[in-house]
Amino acid sequence: MTEATAPTAPPKGRRWATITAIRTRTMVVSVCALAATLWQGYAIQKHNRLMVQPILDTELNTELDGSWTLLVQNSGLGPARVTRADIQVDGKPQPSTAAAARALGLDPACMGSGSLVHFYRVNQRQMVLSSAGPGCTLKPDALETLLKRLSITLHYESLYGDAAVHQLLR
């Protein structure tokens, strides 16, 4: 008859090497998962910043009768907070659009002007300058000459505080 032999245990050194290999592989997988999570968080934050980025545009509307309106519009995906407006006429700083209209030689009774430093919602338009009545019109070449003398730069930021600059004229 044959004797039943008891199963032999693997050598202790080999068992220890197997456990160490499993622990090492577990740590490598954990570190890779952590790195992927951190990268994904960065990508989401970058995406969110782009999703609320404001873009300020300039719009000039002219009518056949010679009336006109100069507007600023937020055509971006998020609100814009204008922190500063640099207004110049012939290179000289002006405190407001109304002062700029006076410096351009426009009749104050014929002009409308708006404040530029405020919060712009998405698709909100703000008047910069406009003719205010039928007797206050300008011919196209006179309007072009007038707008060449005017320089307006808007400094604004997004909800995340990302700064941007929009050159309105010049």
| Whether the Cβ atoms of residue 159 and residue 80 lie closer than 8 Å to each other | no
| Whether the Cβ atoms of residue 128 and residue 73 lie closer than 8 Å to each other | no
86: three-class secondary structure by DSSP: strand
97: three-class secondary structure by DSSP: helix
Q: For residue 62, what are the β-bridge partners?
A: 68
* pLDDT tens track for 81-138: 999 999 999 999 999 888 888 898 888 777 888 888 889 999 999 988 888 777 788 8
Return the pLDDT at 66.
Answer: 84
pTM as predicted = 0.72
- Greatest alpha-carbon pair distance for the chain in Å reads 126
Q: How confident is the model at residue 40 (pLDDT cuts 50, 70, 90)?
A: very high
CA pair distance 49, 95, nearest whole angstrom: 32
Return the pLDDT at 132.
Answer: 77
